[in-house]
Structures are given as structure tokens and as C-alpha cells.
């Protein structure tokens, strides 16, 4: 659906939008980027380098792992791997750009907002995503969208990035596809009955 070139161009566009929306000196001076694990992290890094070239200034970058704030830990079966949250600066009065690859149900972003609140009272939090695929389950929307894609609820949007997957591309697959099922792995584990 998106090639490497498309992804590059989309990120340049997103970076330009972020800069123009944060042109006031207050916003500019307090701008920080936070990437959500896993694929939001490399995307945030790429945005950082594009924006830094334009504004000629260093931009603080943090990473956020929302696993411990998920609302479905009781039902995911085996627990997801906890990755590093690393925010080496105070978030008080910062203008945060939260970065993720795909915006879908909105639950990840809900978790991220709760977690960010523990790091200080930010000036503002905005959301930047590469893909918005619809099907929200919470009243959440993105401030910067790379590409709006119409999908069916059971389709899977896979963002592959060089840093993690070896190549850049975005593909949509049908959930019934075998490989896709293995990737999703979200089926709740049946609660078995103990045999006494």
C-alpha cells in the first residue's frame, strides 16, 4: 500500500505539519517527541532528524512502552514483553508530539496518555500517526495523519520499518491469512478448569 518512497514523503509532510503548527516561540521551545513502542520509536527518530534539519535545533526524544497501562492484560492470554520507557527529561510544560505507526481502536493512545500524565503536567500533547485506519473504540483522534486508509475491522495493517523489519513498507492483509493471524496473536486464552 505504501512503498519506501511513500513512507519517506509522508514523514516529510508530517514533519512540515508539526513545524507549522508549532511555530509560536512557546511551542517551538517546548517541543519534544515521544515514540510509542515498537514502531512508533523508529518513526519518532526519523521525524526528529527531519525536523531538526529544518529548525536547526536539537529535539529531545523519549520512548514509551504502554504495556503496563493496557486495559486488556486480563484477556490477552500470555503477557506481552515489557519494553523500555525512557523519558530522560521532565514533561512539565512541554509540547509533546506522541508518535505511533497506526491509529486503530485508540486504546493504545488512551494508555499512552495515562502513562504520560505520570511524568508531569504537559503544556499540550498532540498525536502524529503514519496511518489512520479508522474503527475507533474511544473518542480519540490524531492531530497529524500521514495517510487515511479505509479498512475492514478484521483486516490487518502492517507497517514494516527498516530498523525493526529490515525494509520499509505498509501492507494490508486479510485476517484469515495464516501469517497475519500468527502476527496478531490477540486471541484471548480460554480459562481452563482445574482437574482436582
Partner 1 sequence: MTSDNKFTWTHKHLLGLENLTAREISHILDTAESFKEISTRNIKKVPTLRGKVVVNMFVEPSTRTKMSFSLAAKRLSADIVDFSPSTSSLSKGETLKDTARNIEAMGIDIAIIRHTAPGTPHMLSRIIDASVINAGDGAHEHPTQGLLDIFTMREQKGRIKGLKVAVVGDIMHSRVARSNIWGLTKLGAEVIAVGPPTLIPQEIQDMGVKIAYDIDKVIPEVDVINILRIQLERQRSKFFPTVREYARLFGINSERLKRAKKDVMIMHPGPINRGVEITPDVADGAQSVILRQVTNGLSVRMAVLYLVSGQPKSEEIE
Question: Site residues (CB under 8 A) for partner 1?
Answer: 38, 65, 68-69, 73, 76-79, 81-86, 114-115, 118-120, 189, 191-195
For partner 1, the closer CB: 58 or 81: 81
Q: Are 139 and 19 in contact (CB under 8 A)?
A: no
Report which of 187, 188, 185 is spatially closest to residue 74, judged by C-alpha positions: 188
Under a CB-based contact definition with an 8 Å cutoff, are residues 147 and 130 in contact?
A: yes
Min separation Cβ 82 and partner 1, Å: 4
Strand 61-64 with 31-36, pairing: parallel
The CA distance from 19 to 56, in Å, is 12
Name the residue nearer to partner 1 (CB basis): 10 or 63.
63
Shortest separation between residue 37's beta carbon and partner 1, angstroms? 10
Task: Rank residues 20 and 195 by Cβ distance to partner 1 and give the closer one.
Answer: 195
> At what angle are helices 4-21 and 40-55 packed, to 10 degrees?
60
Q: Please, what is the minimum distance in Å from the beta carbon of residue 18 to partner 1? A: 26
Cis before 96? omega within 30: no
Bridge partners, residue 98, by sequence: 34, 127
The nearest distance, CB 88 to partner 1, in angstroms, is 10
**Alpha carbon distance 26, 31 (integer Å):** 9
Q: Which is nearer to partner 1, 106 or 120 (CB)?
A: 120
Residues β-bridged to residue 62: 34
Nearer Cβ to partner 1 (58/193): 193
Min separation Cβ 98 and partner 1, Å: 18
Amino acid at each position: 500500500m505504501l512503498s519506501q518512497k511513500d513512507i519517506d514523503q509522508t514523514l516529510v509532510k508530517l514533519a512540515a505539519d508539526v513545524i507549522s503548527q508549532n511555530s509560536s516561540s512557546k511551542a517551538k521551545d517546548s517541543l519534544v517527541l515521544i515514540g510509542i513502542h515498537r514502531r512508533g520509536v523508529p518513526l519518532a527518530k526519523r521525524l526528529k532528524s527531519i525536523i531538526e534539519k529544518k529548525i536547526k535545533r536539537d529535539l529531545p526524544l523519549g520512548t514509551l512502552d504502554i504495556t503496563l497501562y493496557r486495559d486488556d492484560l486480563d484477556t490477552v492470554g500470555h503477557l506481552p514483553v515489557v519494553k523500555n520507557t525512557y523519558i530522560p527529561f521532565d514533561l512539565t510544560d512541554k509540547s509533546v508530539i506522541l508518535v505511533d505507526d497506526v491509529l486503530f481502536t485508540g486504546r493504545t493512545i488512551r494508555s499512552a496518555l495515562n502513562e504520560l500524565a505520570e511524568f508531569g503536567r504537559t503544556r499540550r500533547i498532540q498525536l502524529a500517526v503514519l496511518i489512520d485506519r479508522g474503527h475507533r473504540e474511544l473518542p480519540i483522534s490524531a492531530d497529524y495523519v500521514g495517510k487515511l486508509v479505509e479498512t475492514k475491522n478484521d483486516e490487518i495493517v502492517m507497517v514494516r520499518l527498516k530498523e525493526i523489519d529490515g525494509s520499509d513498507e505498509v501492507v494490508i492483509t486479510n485476517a484469515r491469512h495464516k501469517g497475519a493471524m500468527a502476527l496478531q496473536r490477540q486471541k484471548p486464552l480460554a480459562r481452563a478448569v482445574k482437574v482436582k
